[in-house]
Amino acid sequence: MSAIVAIVGRPNVGKSTFFNRLIQRREAIVDAVSGVTRDRHYGKSDWNGKEFSIIDTGGYVQGSDDVFEQEIDKQVELAIDEADAIIFMVDVESGITGMDEDVANLLRRVKKPVFLAVNKVDNAKRAEDAVEFYALGLGEYFTLSSVNGSGTGDLLDALVEVLPEKEKEEADLPRFAVVGRPNAGKSSFINALIGEDRYIVTNIAGTTRDSIDTRYNRFGFEFNLVDTAGIRRKSKVKEDLEFYSVMRSVRAIEHCDVCLVMFDATRGFDGQVENIFWLAQRNNKGIVILVNKWDLIEEKETNTMKQYTERIKKAMEPFVDVPILFISALTKQRIYKAIETAVEVYKNRSKKIKTRKLNDVMLPIIERTPPPAYKDKYVKIKYITQLPTNYPQFAFFCNLPQYVREPYKRFLENKLRENFDFNGVPVTIYMRKK
């Protein structure tokens, strides 16, 4: 797991600007998919080769000034529990305020590294004014300007020094994460599998606050089963705990091998479930779609399942090569089939195809259907190899890689899927210069 850094402080000191500056180094997950954490409050950054997750607590504080103060205290307490290091941001323009002092009081008792960042310091006069922040009793401070980036390097140098090294995954067991909206039946599904009420199951949405791992052995295959807190839209993230649950769910997706994306059949494959699906796809995870509570669908016709499947596939286009299972955690209908399918998807994701076989199968297909000419230039694909990564990526070597358009890459991907079975797994294709 990557380390977590939380940015805390009262409103309008520039936390979000600083956060955006940190995550623009790489595409933050929350940029790629609108709606998982609707605004940009969770992202990833790296500095000097060390990667960390970053939380901007600012966007979750709303209300009048007195509510603000309670909210900020809660935010800081949660950040203290959740984060490996804390950046406490203050603003040189307004100097020390009562709210800053309250936050400092909380942080002085903390056993974790705290970095005091004095923002909006963009000239020598302001650098002198920053001296007053010694009075907060947090020791040395860093002066910076979130807007133009000056001073952020020194802060990040000090920050990554204290972050813990990445933990080694225990025995590198494959991780299957059960993800979805709250109340989709994730905990009931895991209880049904392991045959004990390991998780409290109630029908109050969001009972599962944390991601919980269970070692599980089935079909002669051992893996960790991860139950995540339900991911829900930001407008529904009322209490701060939900905010951290969202963050942990996103992190569970990042750190698993296969996502079992579960939703309630009576609610359908809505925008929120779609976002979770695309989040897993963009992170190149194996995916199995589980339509839970199928026993509650009344008036099933012979083709109800087929129509339902078609609707889901329409929403998933162009990545439709994904297993879809109709289950009931309550009646245990097809729950073991779900795990068996997840194991198959895991094997598909780790599949390695010998270069010779790849070329023997794909080159004749390419010869019969070569890439269309572009600007009177003809592309000749000479050789194909699978890259040594932990999910399927292929390099096609050719004379003019820049002239191979997206539709042809999709054609190649479909042919790879037809011949080598990558069901449930995103496949990436690169065109390389021979």
Greater confidence (199 vs 98) lies with 98
Evaluate whether 69 touches 99 at the Cβ level (below 8 Å). yes
Task: Indicate the pLDDT class of residue 285, thresholds 50, 70 and 90.
Answer: very high
Query: What would the pLDDT profile of 66-123 be if each residue is shown by its tens digit?
Result: 666 666 666 677 667 778 899 999 999 989 998 899 889 889 888 899 999 999 998 9
**Domain span at 251:** 175-350
Same domain, yes or no, for 370 and 413? yes
Q: What is the pLDDT of residue 38?
A: 31
Same domain, yes or no, for 209 and 286? yes
DSSP bridge partners of 259: 177, 287
Task: Indicate the pLDDT class of residue 254, thresholds 50, 70 and 90.
Answer: confident
Greater confidence (363 vs 237) lies with 363
Residue 361 lies in a domain: yes
Q: What is the pLDDT of residue 205?
A: 44
> Is the pLDDT confidence value at 362 over 70?
yes
In degrees and rounded to multiples of 5, residue 44 shows phi and psi of -125, 145
Q: What is the pLDDT of residue 40?
A: 38
Same domain, yes or no, for 363 and 303? no
Query: What would the pLDDT profile of 24-75 be if each residue is shown by its tens digit?
Result: 643 333 332 323 333 336 667 888 888 887 877 764 454 555 666 666 666 6
Looking up residue 32, the CATH number of its domain turns out to be: 3.40.50.300
Percent of the chain with pLDDT over 70: 77
Residue 29's alpha-carbon distances to 223, 245, 354, in angstroms, are: 26, 16, 33
Evaluate whether 291 touches 254 at the Cβ level (below 8 Å). no
Which of 158, 24, 31, 135 lies closest to 87, judged by CA? 158
Q: Which residues are annotated as a binding site for GTP?
A: 9-16, 56-60, 119-122, 180-187, 227-231, 292-295
Query: What would the pLDDT profile of 220-248 be if each residue is shown by its tens digit?
Result: 777 787 777 544 444 444 444 445 545 55
Q: What is the pLDDT of residue 272?
A: 73
Percent of the chain with pLDDT over 90: 32
Average pLDDT over residues 330-353: 91
Q: How far apart are CA 177 and CA 197, in angstroms?
A: 18
Residue 93 lies in a domain: yes
Residue 169 lies in a domain: no
Residue 170 lies in a domain: no
Same domain, yes or no, for 38 and 148? yes
Which of 235, 273, 228, 271 lies closest to 251, judged by CA? 228
Same domain, yes or no, for 287 and 158? no
Q: Which residues are annotated as a binding site?
A: 9-16, 56-60, 119-122, 180-187, 227-231, 292-295
The DSSP 8-state label assigned to residue 128 in this structure reads H
Query: What would the pLDDT profile of 372-421 be if each residue is shown by its tens digit?
Result: 888 888 889 999 999 998 899 999 999 988 888 889 999 999 999 999 99
Of 290, 321, 350, the last residue of a domain is: 350
Query: What would the pLDDT profile of 260-282 be if each residue is shown by its tens digit?
Result: 999 988 888 887 788 788 878 87
Residue 300 lies in a domain: yes
Same domain, yes or no, for 89 and 116? yes
Evaluate whether 77 touches 71 at the Cβ level (below 8 Å). no
Same domain, yes or no, for 286 and 386? no
Residue 394 lies in a domain: yes
Q: What is the pLDDT of residue 300?
A: 66
Residue 259's alpha-carbon distances to 48, 169, 292, 416, 420, in angstroms, are: 31, 17, 15, 22, 21
3-state helix, strand, coil in the chain (%, to 5): 40, 20, 40
Question: Considering its fold, how many domains does the chain have in total?
Answer: 3
Q: What is the pLDDT of residue 422?
A: 94
Of 350, 373, 393, the last residue of a domain is: 350
